[in-house]
Chain A
């Protein structure tokens, strides 16, 4: 069982829909991450929140909008997606983001997103 919980597990959406992915952790971690993973590829970093503030945006298109309502929750709002955005979206957390944090990254099981 993973300590990072993601909902929903699967999502099918049309290109005009608006949907949200949710992520929750109760390990007291202060850094949370969104990754995108295509088949047979490693995860690609999208966003990092550190102490509830956005610290890294890897030049992600604005149709992806992250939100960190509190230290335990992370959302990813989706709007006007393209079929090529279909992928496994992974949330992760760690004790902290900076160089002094030598702690492992904990991943959720992901949301399998299909854009039609």
Chain B
């Protein structure tokens, strides 16, 4: 059974810092990995999707990497802003449970002005 882990559970950094969020998964036979952000009381917003054949994806200040062999992904946020404060979730599709997205528990990020 695919398991997805995100560490740390919460992170607080001053504005302007670059930061990295981590995601690990147990079954490397994935089709893709998605990063989402969720603001309190809202739905999930898709940030980046990395296909299994890709190593990274970039969107603005966000860069996501994927290392299938080690079962890891990172989300790099450059020059963090208070508006980046949210919960960030990663989810993988594939492995056992191939038809479904398996979510991590999320990292709650706070950017302090």
Contacts and interface: CB of A to CB of B under 8 A. Distances in A.
Contacts of A43: 44, 103
Contacts of B103: 42-43
Interface residues of A, number: 26
A42 B32 CA distance: 18
B18 interface: no
Given A43-B103, A97-B99, A99-B99, A104 B49 contact: yes
- Classify the interface of chain B: helix, strand, loop or mixed: strand
A102 B32 contact: yes
Contacts of A103: 49
Contacts of B34: 104-105
Given A2-B43, A107-B44, A107-B45, A102 B101 contact: no
A111 to B, nearest CB: 10
A68 B45 CA distance: 23
A109 interface: yes
A74 interface: no
A92 B91 CA distance: 14
B31 A102 contact: yes
Given A42-B104, A45-B100, A88 B49 contact: no
13 contacts: A41-B105, A45-B101, A48-B99, A56-B100, A90-B44, A99-B93, A103-B49, A104-B34, A106-B46, A107-B45, A108-B43, A109-B43, A110-B43
What 8 A-B pairs have minimum CB-CB distances, sorted nearest first? A42-B103, A107-B43, A104-B46, A107-B44, A109-B43, A104-B49, A102-B51, A102-B32
